[in-house]
Chain A
Protein backbone atom coordinates (compact mmCIF):
# COMPACT_ATOMS: atom_id res chain seq x y z
CA UNK A 1 0.00 0.00 0.00
CA UNK A 2 1.29 3.41 -0.89
CA UNK A 3 2.17 5.53 2.09
CA UNK A 4 1.97 9.25 1.61
CA UNK A 5 4.75 11.55 2.60
CA UNK A 6 3.48 14.08 5.07
CA UNK A 7 4.73 17.16 6.80
CA UNK A 8 2.75 16.79 9.98
CA UNK A 9 5.71 16.18 12.26
CA UNK A 10 7.30 19.48 11.40
CA UNK A 11 4.39 21.70 12.37
CA UNK A 12 5.45 24.78 14.22
CA UNK A 13 2.49 26.94 15.19
CA UNK A 14 2.98 30.52 14.18
CA UNK A 15 1.95 33.15 16.64
CA UNK A 16 0.73 36.58 15.67
CA UNK A 17 3.45 39.15 15.30
CA UNK A 18 3.20 42.50 17.09
CA UNK A 19 1.18 44.95 15.10
CA UNK A 20 -0.57 42.30 13.03
CA UNK A 21 -4.21 43.13 12.45
CA UNK A 22 -7.05 40.83 11.64
CA UNK A 23 -10.74 40.54 12.26
CA UNK A 24 -10.05 39.21 15.76
CA UNK A 25 -7.65 42.00 16.61
CA UNK A 26 -9.69 43.31 19.51
CA UNK A 27 -9.67 39.95 21.23
CA UNK A 28 -6.38 38.82 22.73
CA UNK A 29 -5.20 35.69 20.93
CA UNK A 30 -5.42 32.43 22.79
CA UNK A 31 -2.04 30.98 23.57
CA UNK A 32 -1.13 28.24 21.13
CA UNK A 33 -0.95 24.86 22.82
CA UNK A 34 1.91 22.63 21.77
CA UNK A 35 1.28 18.94 21.76
CA UNK A 36 3.89 16.54 23.01
CA UNK A 37 5.80 14.61 20.38
CA UNK A 38 4.12 11.33 21.23
CA UNK A 39 0.66 12.85 20.90
CA UNK A 40 1.65 14.46 17.58
CA UNK A 41 2.98 11.16 16.34
CA UNK A 42 -0.15 9.29 17.39
CA UNK A 43 -2.48 11.73 15.65
CA UNK A 44 -0.31 11.64 12.55
CA UNK A 45 -0.41 7.87 12.57
CA UNK A 46 -4.20 7.75 12.90
CA UNK A 47 -4.65 10.37 10.19
CA UNK A 48 -2.37 8.63 7.72
CA UNK A 49 -3.95 5.28 8.48
CA UNK A 50 -7.42 6.66 7.71
CA UNK A 51 -6.24 8.42 4.57
CA UNK A 52 -4.31 5.42 3.28
CA UNK A 53 -7.38 3.27 3.86
CA UNK A 54 -9.28 5.60 1.54
CA UNK A 55 -6.47 5.68 -1.02
CA UNK A 56 -6.33 1.88 -1.01
CA UNK A 57 -10.00 1.73 -2.03
CA UNK A 58 -8.86 2.49 -5.55
CA UNK A 59 -10.83 4.56 -8.02
CA UNK A 60 -14.39 3.77 -9.12
CA UNK A 61 -14.52 2.64 -12.71
CA UNK A 62 -16.64 5.55 -13.86
CA UNK A 63 -14.10 8.10 -12.64
CA UNK A 64 -11.19 6.25 -14.20
CA UNK A 65 -13.06 5.90 -17.49
CA UNK A 66 -14.05 9.55 -17.44
CA UNK A 67 -10.43 10.67 -17.62
CA UNK A 68 -9.42 7.98 -20.11
CA UNK A 69 -12.38 8.76 -22.38
CA UNK A 70 -11.64 12.45 -22.42
CA UNK A 71 -8.03 11.60 -23.16
CA UNK A 72 -9.05 9.75 -26.26
CA UNK A 73 -11.43 12.32 -27.69
CA UNK A 74 -10.39 14.47 -30.61
Chain B
Protein backbone atom coordinates (compact mmCIF):
# COMPACT_ATOMS: atom_id res chain seq x y z
CA UNK B 1 0.00 0.00 0.00
CA UNK B 2 1.33 3.40 -0.94
CA UNK B 3 0.91 5.93 1.81
CA UNK B 4 -0.45 9.32 0.83
CA UNK B 5 2.48 11.76 1.12
CA UNK B 6 0.40 14.19 3.16
CA UNK B 7 -0.56 11.45 5.59
CA UNK B 8 3.03 10.24 5.73
CA UNK B 9 4.23 13.74 6.56
CA UNK B 10 1.67 14.02 9.33
CA UNK B 11 2.87 10.74 10.78
CA UNK B 12 6.52 11.78 10.53
CA UNK B 13 5.77 15.11 12.16
CA UNK B 14 4.10 13.37 15.09
CA UNK B 15 6.80 10.79 15.77
CA UNK B 16 9.11 12.98 17.94
CA UNK B 17 6.30 13.85 20.32
CA UNK B 18 4.90 10.33 20.16
CA UNK B 19 8.31 9.02 21.16
CA UNK B 20 8.60 11.56 23.98
CA UNK B 21 5.23 10.38 25.25
CA UNK B 22 6.40 6.77 25.08
CA UNK B 23 9.62 7.52 26.96
CA UNK B 24 7.67 9.44 29.59
CA UNK B 25 5.32 6.49 30.04
CA UNK B 26 7.90 3.69 29.92
CA UNK B 27 10.91 5.32 31.50
CA UNK B 28 13.05 3.29 29.12
CA UNK B 29 14.22 4.43 25.71
CA UNK B 30 14.62 1.00 24.11
CA UNK B 31 11.16 -0.06 25.19
CA UNK B 32 9.75 3.28 24.10
CA UNK B 33 11.24 2.82 20.64
CA UNK B 34 9.74 -0.66 20.42
CA UNK B 35 6.40 0.80 21.45
CA UNK B 36 6.63 3.57 18.85
CA UNK B 37 7.59 1.09 16.16
CA UNK B 38 4.68 -1.15 17.04
CA UNK B 39 2.38 1.86 17.07
CA UNK B 40 3.54 2.95 13.61
CA UNK B 41 3.18 -0.52 12.14
CA UNK B 42 -0.31 -0.83 13.56
CA UNK B 43 -1.29 2.65 12.44
CA UNK B 44 0.01 2.15 8.93
CA UNK B 45 -1.71 -1.24 8.69
CA UNK B 46 -4.99 0.45 9.59
CA UNK B 47 -4.41 3.77 7.90
CA UNK B 48 -7.71 3.39 6.03
CA UNK B 49 -9.52 3.85 9.32
CA UNK B 50 -7.95 7.28 9.79
CA UNK B 51 -10.25 10.06 8.66
CA UNK B 52 -8.22 12.67 6.72
CA UNK B 53 -8.60 16.05 8.29
CA UNK B 54 -9.03 14.67 11.78
CA UNK B 55 -6.43 14.74 14.52
CA UNK B 56 -3.50 12.55 13.46
CA UNK B 57 -1.51 13.05 16.69
CA UNK B 58 -4.53 12.08 18.80
CA UNK B 59 -5.06 9.00 16.64
CA UNK B 60 -1.44 7.86 16.98
CA UNK B 61 -1.30 8.66 20.70
CA UNK B 62 -4.45 6.62 21.23
CA UNK B 63 -2.90 3.61 19.54
CA UNK B 64 0.32 3.95 21.52
CA UNK B 65 -1.49 4.46 24.79
CA UNK B 66 -3.65 1.39 24.24
CA UNK B 67 -0.63 -0.70 23.31
CA UNK B 68 1.16 0.48 26.42
CA UNK B 69 -1.80 -0.30 28.62
CA UNK B 70 -2.38 -3.73 27.13
CA UNK B 71 1.16 -4.97 26.64
CA UNK B 72 3.47 -2.89 28.78
CA UNK B 73 1.50 -2.24 31.91
CA UNK B 74 2.58 -5.55 33.38
CA UNK B 75 6.11 -4.21 33.37
CA UNK B 76 5.19 -1.22 35.48
CA UNK B 77 7.42 -2.39 38.32
CA UNK B 78 10.43 -2.01 36.05
CA UNK B 79 9.50 1.61 35.46
CA UNK B 80 9.20 2.22 39.17
CA UNK B 81 12.53 0.52 39.77
CA UNK B 82 14.28 2.46 37.03
CA UNK B 83 17.59 3.74 38.31
CA UNK B 84 18.10 6.59 35.91
CA UNK B 85 20.52 4.63 33.75
CA UNK B 86 18.35 5.24 30.73
CA UNK B 87 18.87 8.98 30.93
CA UNK B 88 22.56 8.47 30.29
CA UNK B 89 21.66 7.25 26.83
CA UNK B 90 20.07 10.57 25.95
CA UNK B 91 21.89 12.27 23.12
CA UNK B 92 21.47 15.66 24.70
CA UNK B 93 21.05 16.47 28.32
CA UNK B 94 18.30 18.51 29.93
CA UNK B 95 18.66 22.16 29.09
CA UNK B 96 16.22 24.15 31.16
CA UNK B 97 16.67 22.16 34.32
CA UNK B 98 19.75 20.69 35.92
CA UNK B 99 20.60 17.03 35.71
CA UNK B 100 19.75 16.36 39.35
CA UNK B 101 16.43 18.15 39.08
CA UNK B 102 15.69 16.26 35.87
CA UNK B 103 16.36 12.93 37.57
CA UNK B 104 14.30 13.84 40.60
CA UNK B 105 11.37 14.83 38.45
CA UNK B 106 11.63 11.72 36.29
CA UNK B 107 11.74 9.54 39.39
CA UNK B 108 8.73 11.29 40.91
CA UNK B 109 6.77 10.98 37.67
CA UNK B 110 7.48 7.24 37.59
CA UNK B 111 5.92 6.92 41.04
CA UNK B 112 2.57 8.22 39.85
CA UNK B 113 -0.18 5.76 38.98
CA UNK B 114 -0.05 5.24 35.23
CA UNK B 115 -3.48 6.78 34.65
CA UNK B 116 -2.41 9.98 36.39
CA UNK B 117 0.95 10.01 34.64
CA UNK B 118 -0.53 9.67 31.16
CA UNK B 119 -3.16 12.34 31.83
CA UNK B 120 -0.59 14.81 33.10
CA UNK B 121 1.76 14.22 30.17
CA UNK B 122 -0.97 14.45 27.53
CA UNK B 123 -2.37 17.71 28.88
CA UNK B 124 0.70 19.28 30.41
CA UNK B 125 3.39 18.34 27.89
CA UNK B 126 1.97 16.89 24.68
CA UNK B 127 -0.38 19.84 24.27
CA UNK B 128 -3.68 18.00 23.97
CA UNK B 129 -6.94 19.55 25.08
CA UNK B 130 -8.83 17.91 27.92
CA UNK B 131 -11.35 16.65 25.37
CA UNK B 132 -8.62 15.06 23.26
CA UNK B 133 -6.90 13.59 26.31
CA UNK B 134 -10.20 12.12 27.47
CA UNK B 135 -10.76 10.59 24.04
CA UNK B 136 -7.23 9.17 23.99
CA UNK B 137 -7.65 7.63 27.44
CA UNK B 138 -11.23 6.55 26.85
CA UNK B 139 -12.66 8.35 29.87
CA UNK B 140 -14.66 11.43 30.79
CA UNK B 141 -13.18 14.92 30.66
CA UNK B 142 -13.83 15.32 34.38
CA UNK B 143 -11.82 12.17 35.04
CA UNK B 144 -8.87 13.62 33.15
CA UNK B 145 -9.07 16.86 35.11
CA UNK B 146 -9.17 14.98 38.37
CA UNK B 147 -6.24 12.76 37.38
CA UNK B 148 -4.18 15.77 36.33
CA UNK B 149 -4.92 17.52 39.57
CA UNK B 150 -4.02 14.50 41.67
CA UNK B 151 -0.85 13.98 39.66
CA UNK B 152 0.28 17.54 40.25
CA UNK B 153 -0.52 17.38 43.94
CA UNK B 154 1.40 14.13 44.31
CA UNK B 155 4.38 15.50 42.39
CA UNK B 156 4.40 18.60 44.56
CA UNK B 157 4.60 16.40 47.63
CA UNK B 158 7.26 14.10 46.18
CA UNK B 159 9.40 17.03 45.06
CA UNK B 160 8.74 19.10 48.18
CA UNK B 161 7.37 21.91 46.07
CA UNK B 162 5.42 24.25 48.28
CA UNK B 163 1.87 23.79 47.08
CA UNK B 164 0.10 26.16 49.41
CA UNK B 165 -2.58 28.05 47.57
CA UNK B 166 -3.25 31.64 48.48
CA UNK B 167 -6.75 30.63 49.41
CA UNK B 168 -6.13 27.00 50.15
CA UNK B 169 -5.19 24.92 53.17
CA UNK B 170 -1.78 25.15 54.76
CA UNK B 171 0.73 22.35 54.48
CA UNK B 172 -0.27 20.65 57.72
CA UNK B 173 -3.92 20.67 56.70
CA UNK B 174 -3.05 19.33 53.28
CA UNK B 175 -1.08 16.50 54.88
CA UNK B 176 -4.18 15.54 56.84
CA UNK B 177 -6.35 15.78 53.73
CA UNK B 178 -3.91 13.78 51.66
CA UNK B 179 -3.84 11.12 54.37
CA UNK B 180 -7.51 10.50 53.73
CA UNK B 181 -8.35 10.18 57.41
CA UNK B 182 -5.84 7.43 58.15
CA UNK B 183 -5.16 6.65 61.77
Contacts and interface: CB of A to CB of B under 8 A. Distances in A.
Interface of B is mostly: helix
Interface residues of A, number: 51
Interface residues of B, number: 67
Contacts of B162: 36, 38-39
A43 B178 CA distance: 18
A25 interface: no
A35 B152 contact: yes
Contact of B153 (A8, A33, A53): A33
A51 B125 contact: yes
Contacts of B113: none
Contacts of A50: 24, 94, 97, 102, 105-106, 109, 125
Interface in A30-54: 30-40, 42-54
B130 A33 contact: no
Interface in A7-33: 7-8, 11-14, 30-33
Contacts of A51: 20, 24, 121, 125-126
Interface of B: 1-3, 5, 8, 11-12, 15-17, 19-20, 23-24, 33, 36-37, 40-41, 44, 90-97, 101-102, 105-106, 109, 120-121, 123-130, 141-142, 145-146, 148-150, 152-153, 155-156, 159, 161-166, 168-169, 174, 177-178, 180
**4 interchain residue pairs of minimum CB distance:** A8-B124, A54-B20, A51-B125, A13-B149
